[in-house]
Structure 1
Amino acid sequence: MSYKLKQESISSFSTATAADICTEFFAGQNKISGESIMALTEVRQVNSFIIESLFTQWQSEIARLRSPYFDFEAEEVQKALKEFMNTLSNHINIGRGHLEPLLSKAIETTMLLTFAPKKYVLNHWFDEQKENLPKGKLRYIKTHTEGFKLIHDTAKTPINPAYLGNLFDSMSSHFEIPEPVEFLQKLNAEDKLSLLFEFEKEVAAEPAPSQVFTPEIEEIPEAKTSVAAKHENGKETINDRFNGNSNGPTLAEKLQKNNIQPLEKTLTLNERIMFAKTLFDGDQSLMKKVLEELDTANSMDEALSKTQPYNKKWDIEGDEMDAFIQVLKRRFN
C-alpha cells in the first residue's frame, strides 16, 4: 500500500494530536519541566522542535536587552548570560495553555520534515534574505540527520531555491521516508492516518494463466513421528514442559526479568565518557551514585524527578542531555 502526504491537512492533524497528547500528560499534573519535554513523545524530532521554540523565544528576549549604559557584547557579559541560560533551562515550568501551541507547531514541522523533507528544506531551513542555511539549526535535526548534514556541509553560498532544490535531489537517497503507520503509532495518532495520508492499494499485474500439471501421488500411511506422538500415554511432552498450566512465571517472563541490567552497564563507552565529563564534571563516582538511584525508579517520570538534585548545571539544549534521555527511555519505555 502506498501513501501520499496531504500537506493541506498537516495543520489540523497537528492541532488534534497536540490536544490528545496534552490531555494525557496534564491529566495528573499542571506543569511540565524541561526534562519531561525531552521525553514528551516517542518522536525525538517533535521534542527537539519544542526545545528549539523555547530557545528561539529566549534569544528574542535577550536581543531586547540593550542599553546605552552597558556593553552586552562584552565577553564576560556573554559568558554570564550563557550561564544564566543554563540555570534557567533547568527551571522550565510550562502549563498546558502555553505548551499546546508549541507542541502543535513542533508536530506540524516534524511531519513536513519527515515526509516532505525537500519542502521543509526550502520553506523552513533556507534563509532567503541572507541566501544561506541558518547557523545552529542543524543541532535540532533528529530525523534524516545524515541527509541534512550533507546538505549543510555541501551547500555553497550564496544559495538560491533552484540551487538548493537541485542539491537536495542529488542527495535524496539519504532521505528514507518511514512507514506512516509505524510513525504515527509513536504519537498515538494512528487513528488519524486517513486525515493525513491518501493511500491506495497497489494492484499487481495478473500473470498469464499457465497449464498446471498435477502428478498422481501415491498415498503413504501416516506415520506417528511428531514429538507429541512420541510422548503419548500420559508422559510429559516437551511442549508440556515449557507451556504447561504452571502457576509460576513463564519462560519469557523469567528472561525479561533477568535481562534488566543496571543503567551503568547499559552505557556504551562513548556515553560513559560523555556523561561523566559533561553532566557530572568528570566525577565518575557521582555518576555511578546517580545511576544507582535511577535504577530504583519504576517509571520515566520518577527517574527524571530523581535527577533534579544533580541537573542544575545541565544544558537542556545540549546533545549530552538528549543522549541521557534516550538512555532512560531504553530502560523505561
Structure 2
Amino acid sequence: MEDKYNQLHLEQYSKQLANLLCDRHFATHDSLNGPQLIGFTPVKQTNLFVIKELLLKWHQEMATLRSPYFDYEHEEVKVALLNFMNVLSRKILMKRNAFEPLLQKAIYDTFIVVLAPMVTFEEKFLRIQEEITLPKLQENLKYIDIDKHLFAGFIETLSPGNRDREYILSRFKLYLNANQNSRTSLSDLIAQLSNLLAISENEVLGKPAPTAVPVSRTAPTPAAPIEEKEVVAPIHNAQRETSAPTAKPVYREDEDGEEESVANQRPTLNDNFRKASPTSLADAHSNRKIDSLKNSISINQRFSFINELFEGDNMTYYQTVKQLDEYTDAEAAKLYVMQEVAVKYDWSKKQEHVSKLLRLIDRKFS
C-alpha cells in the first residue's frame, strides 16, 4: 500500500532544503558542473533525479530543432545528434537560477519513491515514453537508486507484448502489494535527509507531533502575590452551543405549510457544487478545450487532487479520472462526480479543489 503524505509540507521542505544546499555551494562557486552534480547531495537518488530532469530538458530542446528543410530522421543525423548529446552531457554547466528548481523537484520526487512508488513508476517510466518497450523501461532504471531491485524485478516480469499503460500500472500495483517487505522504509530516508535539514516522519505523513507528558512538580510559593490573568478553558462544542447567545430565529413556510427555521437549513452538497468560484485571469488563460483529463492534469495538480479530494488514495484517483474521460457529455460526468465520488469522500468543505476539477470537466466537453 502507498502511504498518505502531506504534500504541502513536502513541497515546503524540498524548497527549503534546495535553498540551503544552493546557498552552501554557490557561496563559493559561480556555477555547477557535471562532476559536482553527481555528488551534490549525499542522497544518490536525488542526484540521479536531477540528471534525469536534465535529460528531459535536452529532449525538449531537441524537439525544437525540427525543421522543414532538413531530414532529422535520417540515420546519419540521428547518430550525429546522439554523439552531440554524449559530448554535451560531459559539459554540464548551470547557474543557480536554473539548477535550484531542478534540485527542489528532485528532492520531492525522492520522497515520492518511498511514499508512492506507483506515482514514481508512472512518471519516471511510463509518462515520458511515446511507445512503451522493455528496452526503454530498462533504460530508465539508470536513474533509480532507492528500491531499484523492486522496479527492475517488476520489469523482468513483463513480456515484450505488454504495451498498455493501464494494464502495466495495474500489474505493478499487484507486484508492490506482494513485495511490501522489500521496500525502503520512510524512516531510513528521513534519517539521511535529516542530516541535511531536520524533518520528522510525523511531518511527512501529516500526523500531529507527539506531546510530551508533563512532569508534576511542586512549584515554589511566590514571594508576593501576582496579578492573575483569566485563563479561558477549552469549551466543548455542546457547551459552546448551550452558552452562546442565540439570535431570534427566522421562519418561513415549507411545501406543507409548516413553519421552518431558515437558520437551520444547512447547504447541501449540491448547493456547494453550484457555488463554483469565479474564473480568474489565470484560469481564463487555461480555458481552452482539452481532449483528456488524464493527460491534461499537471503533476502538481494531480498530487493536490489525490491528497485533498481522494485522501491520498492514488488508485481511486486514477480510476475516477479514467471513468470521467469515458463520458460523452459534461452533465453525465458531473453527475457521476456528485453522486458517486463526492459523497464517498465528503467534498462539501473542499470547494476550491472541487471547482478546479469541475472546470477541467467543462473544458473537456466544451
TM-score, normalising length from structure 1?
0.53
Secondary structure of the structure 1 residue equivalent to 2:127? coil
Counterpart residue number, 2:163: 157
Which amino acid in the other structure matches residue 89 of structure 1?
S
**Residues 1:144 and 2:153 aligned together:** no
Counterpart residue number, 1:33: 33
CA 1:71–1:4 in structure 2 vs 1: closer, same or farther (change >3 Å)? closer
Partners of 1:91 and 1:132 lie apart in 2 by: 30
Partners of 2:128 and 2:75 lie apart in 1 by: 31
Partners of 1:30 and 1:193 lie apart in 2 by: 35
Partners of 1:181 and 1:16 lie apart in 2 by: 15
RMSD: 2.8
Partners of 1:75 and 1:114 lie apart in 2 by: 40
Structure 1 unaligned residues grouped into runs of 5+ = 202-333
Q: How many percent identity over aligned positions? A: 28
Displacement of 1:176: 2.7
Alignment of 1:104-253 (within 5 A): 104-122=104-122, 124-127=124-127, 132=132, 135=137, 136-155=139-158, 156-160=162-166, 161-177=169-185, 178-186=187-195, 188-191=196-199, 195-197=203-205, 198=207
CA 1:64–1:180 in structure 2 vs 1: closer, same or farther (change >3 Å)? closer
Secondary structure of the structure 2 residue equivalent to 1:190? coil
CA 1:115–1:27 in structure 2 vs 1: closer, same or farther (change >3 Å)? same
The higher-RCO structure (CA 8 Å, 6+ apart) is 1
Contact 2:66 2:72 in 1 (8 A): yes
CA 1:38–1:129 in structure 2 vs 1: closer, same or farther (change >3 Å)? closer
Q: Which moved more, 1:54-63 or 1:124-133?
A: 124-133
Partners of 1:57 and 1:90 lie apart in 2 by: 15
Partners of 1:124 and 1:43 lie apart in 2 by: 18
Which amino acid in the other structure matches residue 168 of structure 1?
L
Q: Which moved more, 1:156-165 or 1:18-27?
A: 156-165
Counterpart residue number, 2:341: none
Which amino acid in the other structure matches residue 157 of structure 1?
R
Partners of 1:58 and 1:147 lie apart in 2 by: 28
Contact 1:184 1:193 in 2 (8 A): no
Q: 1:258-297: per-residue Cα shift (whole Å, max 9, x none)? A: xxxxxxxxxxxxxxxxxxxxxxxxxxxxxxxxxxxxxxxx
CA 1:180–1:4 in structure 2 vs 1: closer, same or farther (change >3 Å)? farther
Counterpart residue number, 1:62: 62
Partners of 1:81 and 1:122 lie apart in 2 by: 28
Counterpart residue number, 1:9: 9
Which amino acid in the other structure matches residue 157 of structure 2?
T
Which amino acid in the other structure matches residue 167 of structure 1?
Y
Which amino acid in the other structure matches residue 120 of structure 1?
T
Alignment of 1:283-302 (within 5 A): none
Partners of 1:200 and 1:173 lie apart in 2 by: 26
Secondary structure of the structure 1 residue equivalent to 2:70? coil
Which amino acid in the other structure matches residue 37 of structure 2?
I
Contact 1:17 1:189 in 2 (8 A): yes
Counterpart residue number, 2:242: none
Which amino acid in the other structure matches residue 144 of structure 1?
D
Displacement of 1:122: 4.6
Displacement of 1:19: 0.5
Counterpart residue number, 1:46: 46
Displacement of 1:99: 0.6
Matched length: 198
Partners of 2:16 and 2:59 lie apart in 1 by: 29
Contact 1:13 1:195 in 2 (8 A): no
Which amino acid in the other structure matches residue 121 of structure 2?
V
Which amino acid in the other structure matches residue 158 of structure 1?
D
Partners of 1:195 and 1:138 lie apart in 2 by: 30
Displacement of 1:150: 1.2
Partners of 1:129 and 1:88 lie apart in 2 by: 22
Which amino acid in the other structure matches residue 146 of structure 2?
T
